[in-house]
A and B are shown apart, each in its own frame.
Chain A
Amino acid sequence: MSETSSTKKTVLYNLHVELGAKMVPFAGYDMPVQYPDGILNEHLHTRESAGLFDVSHMGQLVIAGDNPAAAIETLIPGDIQALGSGEMRYSFLTNEQGGILDDLIVTQRTEDLFVVVNAACKAQDIALLTDGLAGKAQVTELTNRALVALQGPKAAAVLARFAPEVATMSFMTYREVDIDGVPCFVTRSGYTGEDGFEISIPNNNAEALCRKLLGDSDVKPIGLGARDSLRLEAGLCLYGHDLTEKTTPISAGLIWAISKRRREEGGFPGADVIQAEISNKPAMKRVGILPEGRAPAREHTVITDEAGNAIGEITSGGFSPSLGIPIAMGYVPLDFSAIGTKINLLVRGKSRPAVVAKMPFVEQRYYRG
C-alpha cells in the first residue's frame, strides 16, 4: 500500500513497520501517521507521559564560517548574534515581500550554527542559505544523523536515566551528550507544547537507541497525526498551512521572534515591509478559533462575519483530544482579532457560530529551570 518507489525512508523505517505503524507519504518520505494505539491515545499519552517521534525527515544543517551568526542574520530576522554558545532561537527565512519561506530553529554552538528546517522546504532552504551565505559561511546538511523528539511531562525523567546531565538543561538550550554511549546533539525543545527534547543521533545508532527509549514503560511511539493535533493545541504554526510566503511574521503573531535590535536595524529580506507592519499594524492577524458544537472546521474553511461576509480562512483545524472539542486557527482582519469576537464558519455549506479564542488552547509546559 505504501509508495515505496518514489518516497524516501528514514533510518527508523523498519522499526515503524515492526511497531505496526500506518505509513503515509509526507514531504517525500514514508512516515508513520499513527501506530496501532491510534492518534487519540497517542496524543493523550504524550500529554500524560512521554512520546517518541521520528522527525528524521527534517533537515539538519551546520553553518560554519568566520561569523556565521552575523552571516545568517542577512537572511532571517532572528537575533542570532545575541545567542551564547548552547542557546537556540526560533526564526524564519523571509522573502523581499516580508513573507515567510520557512520557519526554523537556529542553535549557536561553540564554533558554528546548528539549524533544523522543515522537510518539505529542505532543498529550497539549503539552496537559499548556500547562495545567500556564499563567501561568508558554508552550509552542510548532516545526512548522517537521524532526529527524534521525546516529548511529554515524563520526557526529562526518562532521558535522564540514560544521561543524567539533561535534567538541568533549560528550554531552548543545546548540549552534546552521550546517551547510552552514543554521541548525540540534544536540545530541550519540541513541537507539542510539552517539556521535552529533540535528539540528533548518528544514523547507525538511531534504531538501537530508539529501542532503548521505547523499552522504558513511560514511552510510546507517536505518529505524525498526533504530532499535528499536539502542536495545534499548543498554538504552534505549521509551515505551508499557518505560515506561507504570503504571510508575514507580524500577521502571524510572531513579532516576539524579532528582537528590538533586529526590528530597528533591519538588514534581512523584507525588513521594510515588516518594519512598516510593526508601525502600522498588519491587515490580517492569526487567531485561535473555537467552533461552537462538536463539528471540526478544517483547513480552508471560510470565516465570515455575523452578516455572512467572507473575512478570512482557517489554516489549521481539527479536534482537540485533550479538551474534547474542535479547535482551529486562521487569519481574520485586525478588527475581528480580539478574543471573544463572534464569527461564523462555513462548514459544508452551513454557517456555524464560532468565537475568536486565546492560544495556546492547552497550556505550554516548558522547563525553564
Chain B
Amino acid sequence: MSYKFTEDHEWVLLEGDVATIGISDYAQGQLGDVVYVEVPTVGDEIAKGDELAVVESVKAASEVYSPVSGEIIDVNTELEGAPTMVNEDAMEGGWFAKIRVTNSADLDDLMDEATYKTFVEGLDE
C-alpha cells in the first residue's frame, strides 16, 4: 500500500479495491488558501479523467480529475466546514473521495512517490 500520483498532482491510495483520492502537498501550495471544496455525490459512477471535485482558493477554482474509474462510496464531508484541511493535511485529512475501483490497472501508469518527487522538482526549475 503506497501513494501513487498523477501529473495533475492528484494522489491515490489503494486499499483492497477502494481508492482514496486527494491532491498533493505541492498542489495545495500552488493553489494557496483553500476556501471551498465541492465533493462528488456518494453512489455516483465516475470515469477516469472525469471531474471529481472542485477546489476553490481565494483567487480561482481548480478542477480535480479522477485518476480511476468506479463508484463513489464515500466523500470527505468535513471539508465543507474546514476547507483549509486541504492546505494543512493534504496527504491525509484533506482527502476528497473514496472510489470502489472497477479496474486496478488504472493505477499502472501513475507515478510512485520517488518519481513524483523528481517530477515536481523539475517543475520548479
Q: Which residues of B contact A229 (CB under 8 A)?
A: 58
Q: Which residues of A contact B80 (CB under 8 A)?
A: 294
Q: Which 4 A-B pairs have the closest CB atoms?
A: A40-B33, A319-B35, A39-B58, A294-B36
Contact assessment for B38 and A39 in the assembled complex, using a CB-CB cutoff below 8 Å:
no
Contact assessment for B35 and A296 in the assembled complex, using a CB-CB cutoff below 8 Å:
yes
Contact assessment for A295 and B59 in the assembled complex, using a CB-CB cutoff below 8 Å:
no
Q: Does A99 contact B (CB under 8 A)?
A: no
CA distance A5 to B104 in the complex (A): 45
- A316-354: which have CB < 8 Å to B? 318-319, 321, 326, 348
With contact pairs A38-B33, A294-B35 given, residues A33 and B59 touching in the complex (Cβ less than 8 Å)? yes
Contact assessment for B59 and A326 in the assembled complex, using a CB-CB cutoff below 8 Å:
no
Q: Does A118 contact B (CB under 8 A)?
A: no
Q: How far apart are B26's CB and chain A's nearest CB, in angstroms?
A: 14
Contact assessment for B32 and A296 in the assembled complex, using a CB-CB cutoff below 8 Å:
no
Contact assessment for B36 and A39 in the assembled complex, using a CB-CB cutoff below 8 Å:
no
- B79-112: which have CB < 8 Å to A? 80, 83
CA distance A226 to B80 in the complex (A): 23
Q: Which residues of A contact B83 (CB under 8 A)?
A: 294
CA distance A43 to B35 in the complex (A): 14
Which residue from A43, A225, A226, A296 sits with its C-beta under 8 Å from B61?
Answer: A296
Q: Does B57 contact A (CB under 8 A)?
A: yes
Q: Does B71 contact A (CB under 8 A)?
A: no
CA distance A298 to B57 in the complex (A): 11
Q: Which residues of B contact A1 (CB under 8 A)?
A: 124
CA distance A179 to B79 in the complex (A): 48
The interface bits of chain B over 9-34 (1 if a CB of A lies within 8 angstroms of the residue's CB, else 0) are 00000000000000000000000110
Q: Which residues of B contact A41 (CB under 8 A)?
A: 33
Q: Does A189 contact B (CB under 8 A)?
A: no
Q: Closest residue of chain A to B58, judged by CB?
A: A39
Q: Does A108 contact B (CB under 8 A)?
A: no
Q: Does B74 contact A (CB under 8 A)?
A: no
The interface bits of chain A over 20-56 (1 if a CB of B lies within 8 angstroms of the residue's CB, else 0) are 0000000000000110001111010000000000000
Q: How far apart are B107's CB and chain A's nearest CB, in angstroms?
A: 27
CA distance A318 to B33 in the complex (A): 13
Q: How far apart are B80's CB and chain A's nearest CB, in angstroms?
A: 7
Which residue from B36, B54, B124 sits with its C-beta under 8 Å from A326?
Answer: B36
CA distance A225 to B59 in the complex (A): 6
Q: How far apart are A146's CB and chain B's nearest CB, in angstroms?
A: 25
Contact assessment for B36 and A43 in the assembled complex, using a CB-CB cutoff below 8 Å:
no
Q: Closest residue of chain A to B54, judged by CB?
A: A348
Contact assessment for A225 and B38 in the assembled complex, using a CB-CB cutoff below 8 Å:
no
The interface bits of chain B over 30-74 (1 if a CB of A lies within 8 angstroms of the residue's CB, else 0) are 001101101000000000000000101111110000000000000
CA distance A338 to B61 in the complex (A): 29
Q: Which residues of A contact B56 (CB under 8 A)?
A: 295-296, 319
With contact pairs A225-B59, A318-B59, A321-B58 given, residues A295 and B36 touching in the complex (Cβ less than 8 Å)? yes
Contact assessment for A348 and B38 in the assembled complex, using a CB-CB cutoff below 8 Å:
yes
A-B contact pairs, 19 of them (CB 8 A): A1-B124, A38-B32, A41-B33, A43-B58, A225-B32, A225-B59, A226-B58, A294-B80, A294-B83, A295-B36, A295-B56, A296-B35, A296-B56, A298-B60, A318-B59, A319-B36, A319-B56, A319-B58, A321-B58
CA distance A123 to B35 in the complex (A): 37
Contact assessment for A39 and B57 in the assembled complex, using a CB-CB cutoff below 8 Å:
yes
Which residue from A39, A295, A298, A318 sits with its C-beta under 8 Å from B32?
Answer: A39
- A55-83: which have CB < 8 Å to B? none
